[in-house]
Amino acid sequence: MARRSKHGPDALKGMIVDAAEAILAADGLDGLTARALAERVACSPGTLYNVFANLDEVVLNVEARLLDRLSARIADARPEVRPRDAVLQMAEIYLDFSHEFPRLWSILLEHALPAGQATPDWHRARLAELLGAVEARLVPMFAPGQQAEAALAARVLWAGVHGICSLSVADKLTNVTAQSARVLIRDLVETYLRGIEARRPQLLPGSA
């Protein structure tokens, strides 16, 4: 064996990440062993380490693809006009996505790098991109010169939606099923935005 890769090295990388995603979705982090992954890719464990530094890097690549998929889904959505509807739409996409890939989603949230290793930059960048999308749809609700308030609101809303989704996926919200998580999200977005309007009803009354 050891024939030169018929697929280029990038293709091999893709195959490994594919296989890793399948294993993670089926068996969680504990199921992803170097030997199990190698067997699924039909190569030896050593080959994995020619392409990735370690298993953590494989997991990170799965996470990256997952985040990209979410970004694409948000980008593909038919844009709603009213800011409230647009934010609600994003929140529901977020919710649906987390429940569509519950295992992968949990791994994305749970996966902690060993020791001092910080979250990689591309990870933070992808999260910042999502946050920016919320912020962009929120800006019309605020007067010019209140971008700081819009940025704050975006972070609060996004963190809140995230909290509902993660607790819901982990089944930790007592008496809250996947179904009713949607109700929570609607209530959060509508009530929070109503609270914003109630603070400055005179500025942009038409934006409600």
Query: Could you tell me how many residues of this chain bind a second copy (CB under 8 A)?
Result: 52
Nearer to a second copy, 29 or 93 (CB): 29
Among 22, 25, 55, 151, binds DNA (CB under 7 A): 55
By the rule CB under 7 A, 54 interacts with DNA = yes
Q: What is the CA angle 191-75-67, rounded to 5?
A: 90
| Contacts to a second copy from residues 120-179, by CB under 8 A | 124, 127-128, 131, 151-153, 155-156, 159-164, 166-168, 170-176
Contact between 143 and 204 under an 8 Å Cβ cutoff? The reply is yes
Among 191, 202, 205, 206, binds a second copy (CB under 8 A): 191
Question: What does the alpha-carbon distance between residue 99 and residue 196 come to, in Å, rounded to a whole number?
Answer: 29
> What's the closest the beta carbon of residue 109 comes to a second copy, in angstroms?
8
Among 18, 44, 97, 182, binds DNA (CB under 7 A): 44
Residue recorded with tokens 């890793």: 20
Q: How far is CA 122 from CA 12, 67, 118, 126, 137, in A?
A: 22, 10, 11, 6, 23
Q: How far is CA 188 from CA 58, 74, 129, 183, 195, in A?
A: 35, 19, 22, 9, 10
Residue recorded with tokens 């039909």: 42
Nearer to a second copy, 15 or 109 (CB): 109
Q: Is the dihedral of CA 47, 48, 52, 54 positive or negative?
A: negative
Residues in the chain, overall count: 208
Nearer to DNA, 117 or 179 (CB): 117
Contact between 157 and 146 under an 8 Å Cβ cutoff? The reply is no
> What's the closest the beta carbon of residue 145 comes to a second copy, in angstroms?
18
Which of a second copy, DNA, none sits in contact with 164, Cβ below 5 to 8 A by type? a second copy
> What's the closest the beta carbon of residue 45 comes to DNA, in angstroms?
4
Neighbouring CB atoms inside 10 A of 34's CB total 15
Nearer to DNA, 33 or 147 (CB): 33
Stretch that binds DNA, among 39-47, 68-76, 155-163, 180-188 (CB under 7 A): 39-47
Contact residues: DNA, CB under 7 A: 1-5, 9, 12, 32-36, 43-47, 49-51, 53-56
